[in-house]
Amino acid sequence: MSSSSSSHSSSSGWSRSENKRFERALALYDDGTEDRWEKVADFIGRGTSPTEAKRHYERLLEDVQSIESGDVPTPNYRSSGK
């Protein structure tokens, strides 16, 4: 596996645009959609398999659960202060 570039998320190896397509696909194809992961994978493109799309979703759920349970600290963003 190659090292992550600045255009890829360090945790997943997916680019920002791939993650955006993934998010849009999840909005289009909800839990009740027949062949959901095939459709999500096709929407993402880049040869993503249905298994890879589903695994990416499961990691996202784990991340959200960690954040909501307080295991991951909330970032302290600075305001622009203009």
Closest CA to 72 of 63, 80, 61: 63
Model confidence at 2, pLDDT cuts 50, 70, 90, reads very low
Total domain count for the chain? 1
The answer to whether position 76 is within a domain reads no
The answer to whether position 9 is within a domain reads no
Q: Average pLDDT for residues 78-82, to the nearest whole number?
A: 64
What are the pLDDT digits (tens) for 17-60? 999 999 999 999 999 999 999 999 999 998 999 999 999 999 99
The answer to whether position 3 is within a domain reads no
Residue 12 in this model has a pLDDT that exceeds 60: no
Closest CA to 59 of 25, 27, 16, 13: 13
Query: Residue 81: what pLDDT?
Result: 57
Q: Average pLDDT for residues 6-10, to the nearest whole number?
A: 39
The answer to whether position 8 is within a domain reads no
**In 10 A of CB 22, how many CB atoms?**
21
Domain limits for position 31: 16-68
Closest CA to 24 of 47, 42, 5, 4: 42
Residue 14 in this model has a pLDDT that exceeds 60: yes
The answer to whether position 55 is within a domain reads yes
